[in-house]
A and B are shown apart, each in its own frame.
Chain A
Amino acid sequence: MFGYVLRRLLQVIPTIVGITLLLFIVVRFSGDPLAIYLGDDDMVVGQVGNDQIAALRARLGLDQPLPLQYIYFLRDALHGDFGRSFIYQNQPALPLVIRRLPATAALGGAALLIGILISLPAGLIAARFRNRFPDTFASFYAVVGEAVPNFWLGIMLILLFAVNLRVLPVSGSGTWRHLVLPAFTLGTGMSALLMRLLRGNLIEVMSLDYIRTARAKGLSARSVLFKHGLRNAAISYITVLGLSVPGLLSGSVVTESIFAWPGMGLLFITAINGRDMAVVQAIVVFTAFLAILGNLIVDLVYVLVDPRITYR
Chain B
Amino acid sequence: MRRLLILVIAVLAWSANAQTLTIAISEGIPGFDPTQTTRTVANDVYPNIFDGLLALDREGQIVPSLALSWEVVNEKDWHLTLRQGVKWHDGETFDAEDVKFTLERLATNQDLIRHVLMTELESVEVVNPYEVVLHMANPDPLLPVNLTMPATAMLPAHYFEAVGVDKFTQAPIGTGPYKFTEYRPDDRLVLTVNEDYWAGKAAFSELVFRVITESTTSVSELITGGVAVSDIGPNDLDRVESSGVAHVTTQATNRVVHWTLNVSEGQATADKRVREALDLAIDNQVFIDVLENGYGTPTRVRTGPGDNFMPTKYYGTYNYDPDRARELLAEAGYGPGELTITIMGASSVSDRAELTAAMLEAVGIVPDIQLFESSVWSSKYWTPGEFTNMAGVGSSNSAMDYGSTLSDLQCPEGAHSQRSHWCNEEFSDLVRAANRELDTAKRAELLDAATEILVDELPQIYLYNSVGFIGVSNKLDWSPRPDGSLLMFDARPAN
Instruction: Report A's interface with B, CB cutoff 8 A.
Output: 30-32, 35-50, 52, 55-56, 59, 85, 87-91, 96, 99-100, 103, 155, 158-159, 162-163, 166, 169-173, 257-260, 262-263, 266-267, 270, 272-273, 275
Contacts and interface: CB of A to CB of B under 8 A. Distances in A.
B396 interface: yes
B379 A31 contact: yes
A165 to B, nearest CB: 11
Given A44-B40, A45-B395, A35 B214 contact: no
B187 interface: yes
Contact of A46 (B226, B349, B408): B408
Contact of A45 (B217, B405, B418): B405
Interface in B108-123: 110-111, 113-116, 119
A45 B210 contact: no
A239 B41 CA distance: 43
A171 B212 contact: yes
A35 B407 CA distance: 19
B186 A266 contact: yes
Contact of B224 (A40, A100, A166): A166
A229 B135 CA distance: 85
Contacts of A162: 220, 224
A45 B346 contact: no
A89 B224 CA distance: 34
B226 A170 contact: yes
B415 A50 contact: yes
B346 A41 contact: yes
A85 to B, nearest CB: 8
Contacts of B418: 50
A41 B394 contact: yes
A259 B212 CA distance: 8
Given A46-B399, A55-B110, A30 B217 contact: no
Contact of A262 (B36, B185, B377): B185
B223 A163 contact: yes
Contacts of B415: 38, 45-46, 50
Interface string B207-248: 000111110111011011010000000000000000000000
A274 B407 CA distance: 26
Contact of B113 (A45, A47, A170): A47
Interface stretch (B24-32, B57-65, B99-107): B24-32
B150 to A, nearest CB: 11
A-B residue pairs, 10 tightest by C-beta: A89-B31, A31-B379, A40-B378, A262-B187, A35-B379, A262-B186, A260-B212, A49-B116, A32-B379, A35-B378
A42 B394 contact: yes
B186 A267 contact: yes
A275 B30 contact: no
Given A32-B382, A89-B169, 19 more contacts: A35-B375, A36-B375, A40-B378, A42-B396, A45-B397, A46-B399, A46-B415, A48-B38, A49-B116, A59-B111, A158-B216, A170-B224, A173-B187, A257-B213, A260-B210, A260-B211, A262-B186, A270-B27, A275-B375
Nearest to A155: B216
Contacts of A270: 27-28, 186
11 contacts: A44-B397, A46-B407, A49-B119, A87-B39, A91-B169, A100-B185, A170-B217, A170-B226, A172-B226, A262-B184, A273-B375
Contacts of A258: 214, 216-217
B382 to A, nearest CB: 5
A95 B474 CA distance: 41
Given A48-B113, A100-B185, A32 B383 contact: yes
B346 A40 contact: yes
A44 B38 contact: yes
Contacts of B216: 155, 158, 258
B111 A31 contact: no
Contact of A90 (B32, B166, B381, B399): B166
B416 interface: yes
| Chain B, interface SS category | mixed
B376 A30 contact: yes
Contacts of A52: 110, 113, 115-116
Contacts of B184: 262
Nearest to B226: A170
A55 B392 CA distance: 28
Q: Identify which of B115, B377, B379, B399 gathers the most chain A CB atoms within 10 Å of its CB.
A: B379
Contacts of B27: 270
Contacts of A158: 216-217, 220
A159 B220 contact: yes
B404 interface: yes
Contact of B255 (A31, A42, A272): A42
Contacts of A99: 185
Contacts of B36: 89-90
B398 A47 contact: yes
B376 A31 contact: yes
Contacts of B392: 41
Contact of B393 (A35, A41, A46, A273): A41
B20 interface: no
A35 B386 CA distance: 13
A28 to B, nearest CB: 12
A31 B185 CA distance: 27
B31 A262 contact: no
A264 to B, nearest CB: 10
Given A41-B346, A100-B185, A172-B226, A46 B378 contact: no
A40 B381 contact: yes
A103 B346 CA distance: 32
A273 B373 CA distance: 9
Contacts of B378: 31, 35-36, 38-40
A267 B187 CA distance: 11
A259 B346 CA distance: 26
Contacts of A40: 346, 374-375, 377-378, 381
Contacts of B31: 88-91
Given A90-B36, A170-B224, A48 B116 contact: yes
